[in-house]
Structure 1
């Protein structure tokens, strides 16, 4: 059949984006998980191999299988055969949407092979089931930008209401990933369950300003809005040299940034590639003496999301 074998690229993502805890995310151009996917005569989901990570090939224990199965159930065709091989290029527990990329790529690829029965926005709900398996919570702040591209906002979960936001053309992201693991479930456990009204008001103001700054392409407003007074102060202890990194990166030209997802990755937004690469150099300067292995990624904002090509 036509398109019976496809290649899928599913991007890393930055969730929370400082003030937007659990509601704002953005997609990166790289890194990303890759798949080879095809229709299969064998009913259900078959995961032939996982490269790059020690993950189960049992579809019930792998986010790809769980997400595709949710799609097939909604389609009313649970026995449709989908086969995939996963190349895991985003380290699990990295804070840049590892499980989200796998979940997002799996459902977009499966949807393509099945003739596009669902819109990209509808696919977010299925990918969220992969997130439920990975972290215990079906959150959308990573899978939404991975699938839709650009910046996304989760207005509500009940009902699920997701909207795409404008992406300024000169906005770049630099991410440092210290090679330590911070599990999302652990990072959630240390959060306070109640916040001060004064902190909440300040955070709401920053979320509104960030959205306004994106639409106005007002980089100074974006910079002022990249402040998290609720989650970051609690989670910063999990990341080596976090505050030094923030201060030095802003001195190097970053607009601002914060913890990517639940960490340990730290992101910085910049206007233009030159600033983004200066920030990468500063990240290297701060981290090189620490004795902690790390990776640095410099990327434009990916406005397309998951990409499909023929093999």
Structure 2
């Protein structure tokens, strides 16, 4: 019999969408080396009344105040629908979203909420109702929720957020995503300047057509990067980490990005790019010491104030191989 001690918590990490060379087909989960939870947390707890949603956290005020307009509530409705279709009993639960991720940051903020919510619901039912959906079924639901937000189906944030590591989206509905060997000895400096750039606006600046030369270069860069990952050829991989699809057109939306890009590359960064649709910048470093030096520079030169306040941050990260994971009870 259910009781109010039935509770699970799941954390879903931030991710770098596109990874420069893989527009909508590459994504990588990242985690700060200092243990900071860069991502969202969702608690699912038994409710003896009706289901409910509570939103807390640093960026809670950036979300709709009405729970029916919150993507986590939509996740619950979708999950319950899937349960009913599987002839499983639907129980009332209370969800708490700890919104640690800024909205419109280019760090997969919506994916963090979607993945944390659905993974937590699945864990709850697995733990207390002896039923769970497969990882494939879960990823499909996550993609469906992301499409509801962005208007198009793409897995480059939800797949790494859920599975962890570096993920390549493949045109196979039975597979969706494959894990690529990543460079776990590298450090990734993630700098969120504190301004918001909507995915919709970032997509609208892209051209409707590309030149043959750009198409060839994009394909060559992506293929070379994937090949270098499998061979663990770090220099080759990051030498082609150049975005010809989105970055040339999105730079105008990101104040100080070009200046930061040019400075960091001149200082020896392996690569510098826009995380997702921006405005977060990522820089790939050979060593933690170099990453810390870059982080200090970015804190002084890339973060910006909005109405006299700064909401930006910089984290030195590495690849998060775990993806969505259960948090131990406090």
TM beyond 0.5: yes
Residue 194 of structure 2 contacts residue 305 of structure 2 at CA under 8 Å; is this kept in 1? no
The alpha-carbon distance between structure 1 residues 32 and 291, as it changes in their structure 2 partners (threshold 3 A), is closer
Residue 82 of structure 2 is matched in structure 1 by 74
CA distance in 2, matches of 1:46, 1:230: 42
Residue 113 of structure 1 is matched in structure 2 by 124
Aligned residue pairs: how many? 309
CA-based RMSD = 2.3
Residue 143 of structure 2 contacts residue 153 of structure 2 at CA under 8 Å; is this kept in 1? yes
The alpha-carbon distance between structure 1 residues 57 and 88, as it changes in their structure 2 partners (threshold 3 A), is same
The alpha-carbon distance between structure 1 residues 229 and 75, as it changes in their structure 2 partners (threshold 3 A), is same
Question: How much does 1:157 deviate?
Answer: 7.1
The alpha-carbon distance between structure 1 residues 163 and 82, as it changes in their structure 2 partners (threshold 3 A), is farther
Question: How much does 1:272 deviate?
Answer: 3.1
Residue 56 of structure 1 is matched in structure 2 by 64
The alpha-carbon distance between structure 1 residues 278 and 137, as it changes in their structure 2 partners (threshold 3 A), is same
| Worse-superposed segment, 273-282 or 139-148 | 273-282
The alpha-carbon distance between structure 1 residues 284 and 57, as it changes in their structure 2 partners (threshold 3 A), is closer
Residue 70 of structure 1 contacts residue 129 of structure 1 at CA under 8 Å; is this kept in 2? no
Question: How much does 1:297 deviate?
Answer: 1.4
CA distance in 1, matches of 2:172, 2:54: 33
Question: How much does 1:143 deviate?
Answer: 0.7
Question: How much does 1:285 deviate?
Answer: 4.5
CA distance in 2, matches of 1:39, 1:139: 32
Residue 35 of structure 2 is matched in structure 1 by none
- For residues 151-230 of structure 1, the aligned pairs below 5 Å read 151-156=166-171, 161-230=176-245
TM, length-normalised to structure 2: 0.86
SS of equivalent residue, structure 1 residue 114? helix
Structure having the higher strand fraction is: 1
Residue 43 of structure 2 contacts residue 120 of structure 2 at CA under 8 Å; is this kept in 1? no
CA distance in 2, matches of 1:142, 1:18: 13
The alpha-carbon distance between structure 1 residues 228 and 78, as it changes in their structure 2 partners (threshold 3 A), is farther
TM, length-normalised to structure 1: 0.90
- For residues 74-93 of structure 1, the aligned pairs below 5 Å read 74-76=82-84, 77=88, 79-93=90-104
Question: How much does 1:62 deviate?
Answer: 1.4
Unaligned runs of 5+ in 1: none
Residue 48 of structure 1 contacts residue 57 of structure 1 at CA under 8 Å; is this kept in 2? no
- For residues 10-25 of structure 1, the aligned pairs below 5 Å read 10-25=12-27
Residue 297 of structure 1 is matched in structure 2 by 315
Residue 262 of structure 1 is matched in structure 2 by 277
Question: How much does 1:103 deviate?
Answer: 0.3
Unaligned runs of 5+ in 2: 33-37
The alpha-carbon distance between structure 1 residues 119 and 194, as it changes in their structure 2 partners (threshold 3 A), is same
Question: How much does 1:78 deviate?
Answer: 7.7
- For residues 23-42 of structure 1, the aligned pairs below 5 Å read 23-30=25-32, 31-42=38-49
Question: How much does 1:278 deviate?
Answer: 2.5
Tell me, yes or no, if structure 1 residue 47 matches structure 2 residue 49: no
| Worse-superposed segment, 11-20 or 48-57 | 48-57
Residue 67 of structure 1 contacts residue 129 of structure 1 at CA under 8 Å; is this kept in 2? no
Match of 1:250 among 253, 262, 265: 265
CA distance in 2, matches of 1:57, 1:284: 31
Residue 249 of structure 1 contacts residue 282 of structure 1 at CA under 8 Å; is this kept in 2? no
